[in-house]
């Protein structure tokens, strides 16, 4: 007996694209509902919401998401939290860098004055939350906030519904000697929770700053969607450590957008250790000549983790210097993705740019996808790029064993040597020590 299905029943079943759009609309609705009346920013939020809906929720058919499948998110109804969740102060103490002059703590994207430390603000430095600072800096903030982050779907989602933002503003010719640390703590006390940390950093002309962005928290189901905008004005210097060590059930998508003025210097050290699935989009835009950009990153993952790094450096002026090296340690069934692009148009003559992605594959079940790119139109440049994927060298292990070192210790030493080139460049002792302990515990 044949079973007849009516046209209405067939039409009622949504297509995969419609399901993705409905899921994105649900995320957009929950973050918009959580926005406080004290931070309307209507001129910024309404266009961003329209951009998010126009882009739609990404799928692997799009080139930029070809190796990063977000399907696992679609079955989880993430909701934005409107109440400031409780955080164990003792657990937080293990995250705070003792060298930091200032600590700004945000729990699920909401500022916690109780957990933060703003007692030692030096002259020339303004730091705090956007909600509390916007009255004093309203005109300045309006000229910077949301002006450099771009228009990706998750960036637009963040702009449409972030509840608060960390603000670090360094005045002209002011050098802040001690680091400033921003801790973004994620918790899910009421089921699957979504947070949208937002950060605005401005280093005015001639200033200097060391910034630590730390994403951490419990292992419960959580979605972190962060955006950081950094303005490095003429002859300013920013050293930026971005540490992502969130829980094993976390989805983490982050955007760092950097604008560099003439003669400025920017260094970024993104370290990825946590999250079930993570992606960091790093975009550098040169707005004047003779900039220096140093990108030294490390992803170390195991289990079934996926860590994706996408970077774009746009060199629009002459005499720019870029040095990028990103290393990945991949164990078990883990999967790393690297897509780095350097754009050198005709105006960017005498550019010196290098890009290298090195991968250490510790398991034959792991996966590495790497795609370094150079897009060069200028004809008087020095540019190079490359990628390597390798395993632990059996001859090197044997050599160390012949010197009385066990096989396990030999593997530890080789992994340590691979990672420490990046870790040793971090200018904060306590963070170097913490990461060294993590790498030393990594054995096959």
Does residue 242 carry a pLDDT above 90? yes
- In whole angstroms, what is the distance from residue 57 CA to residue 298 CA? 28
Q: What residue segments make up the domains of the chain, in order of their start?
A: 22-288, 395-444
Residue carrying structure tokens 């002259």: 123
Structure tokens at 306: 């996926």
Does residue 307 carry a pLDDT above 50? yes
Report the candidate in 220, 223, 225 with the shortest Cα–Cα distance to residue 248: 220
Check: CB of residue 354 under 8 Å from CB of residue 383: yes
DSSP assignment string, 254-316: EEEEEEE-TT-EEEEEEEE---SEEEEEEEEEE-SSS-EEEEEEEEEE-TT-EEEEEEEEE--
Report the candidate in 87, 162, 169 with the shortest Cα–Cα distance to residue 131: 162
User: What's the pLDDT at 7?
Assistant: 54
pLDDT confidence band for 150 (50 / 70 / 90)? confident
Does residue 443 carry a pLDDT above 70? no
List, for residues 360-399, the tens digit of each pLDDT value.
999 999 999 999 999 999 999 999 999 999 998 888 888 8
pTM of the complete model:
0.94
Q: What is the mean pLDDT of residues 111-137?
A: 90
User: What's the pLDDT at 12?
Assistant: 66
pLDDT confidence band for 1 (50 / 70 / 90)? very low
- In whole angstroms, what is the distance from residue 280 CA to residue 337 CA? 10
Does residue 400 carry a pLDDT above 90? no
Handedness of CA 195, 60, 228, 56 (dihedral sign): negative
List, for residues 276-287, the tens digit of each pLDDT value.
999 999 999 999
Does residue 53 carry a pLDDT above 90? yes
pLDDT confidence band for 85 (50 / 70 / 90)? confident
List, for residues 174-213, the tens digit of each pLDDT value.
999 999 999 999 998 878 999 999 999 999 999 999 999 9
- In whole angstroms, what is the distance from residue 228 CA to residue 282 CA? 10
- In whole angstroms, what is the distance from residue 144 CA to residue 70 CA? 31
Check: CB of residue 346 under 8 Å from CB of residue 336: no
């Amino acid at each position: 007996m044949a079973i007849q299905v009516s046209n209405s029943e067939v039409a009622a079943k949504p297509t995969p694209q419609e399901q993705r759009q409905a899921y994105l609309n649900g995320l957009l609705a929950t973050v918009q509902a959580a926005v406080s009346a004290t931070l309307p920013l209507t001129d910024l939020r309404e266009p961003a919401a329209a951009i998010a809906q126009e882009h739609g929720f990404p799928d692997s058919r799009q080139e930029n998401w070809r190796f990063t499948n977000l399907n696992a998110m679609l079955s989880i109804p993430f909701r934005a939290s409107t109440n400031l969740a409780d955080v164990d102060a003792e657990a937080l103490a293990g995250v705070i860098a003792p060298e930091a002059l200032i600590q700004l703590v945000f729990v699920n994207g909401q500022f916690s004055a109780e957990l933060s430390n703003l007692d030692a603000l030096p002259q020339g430095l303004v730091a705090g939350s956007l909600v509390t600072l916007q009255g004093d800096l309203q005109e300045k903030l309006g000229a910077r906030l949301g002006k450099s982050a771009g228009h990706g779907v998750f960036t637009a989602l963040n702009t449409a519904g972030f509840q608060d933002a960390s603000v670090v503003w360094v005045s002209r010719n002011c050098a802040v000697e001690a680091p400033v640390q921003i801790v973004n703590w994620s918790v899910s006390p009421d089921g699957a929770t979504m947070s949208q940390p937002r950060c605005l950093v401005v280093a005015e002309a001639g200033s200097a700053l060391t910034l630590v962005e730390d994403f951490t928290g419990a292992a419960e189901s959580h979605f972190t969607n962060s955006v950081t905008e950094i303005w490095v004005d003429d002859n300013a210097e920013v050293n930026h450590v971005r540490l992502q060590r969130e829980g094993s059930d976390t989805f983490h998508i982050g955007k760092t957008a950097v604008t560099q003025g003439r003669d400025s210097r920017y260094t970024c050290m993104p370290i990825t250790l946590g999250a079930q699935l993570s992606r960091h989009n790093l975009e550098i835009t040169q707005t004047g000549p003779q900039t220096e950009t140093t990108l030294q990153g490390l992803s170390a993952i195991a289990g079934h983790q996926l860590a994706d790094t996408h970077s774009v450096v746009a060199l629009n002026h002459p005499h720019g210097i870029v040095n990028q090296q990103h290393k990945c340690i991949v164990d078990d069934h883990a999967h790393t993705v690297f897509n780095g692009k350097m754009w050198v148009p005709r105006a960017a003559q005498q550019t010196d740019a290098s890009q290298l992605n090195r991968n250490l594959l510790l398991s034959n079940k792991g996966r590495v996808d790497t795609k370094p790119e150079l897009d060069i139109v200028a004809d008087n440049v020095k540019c190079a790029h490359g990628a390597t994927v390798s395993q632990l060298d059996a001859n090197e292990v044997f050599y160390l064993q012949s010197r009385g070192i066990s096989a396990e210790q030999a593997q530890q030493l080789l992994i340590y040597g691979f990672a420490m080139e990046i870790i040793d460049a971090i200018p904060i002792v306590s963070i170097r020590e913490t990461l060294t302990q993590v790498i030393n515990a990594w054995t096959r």
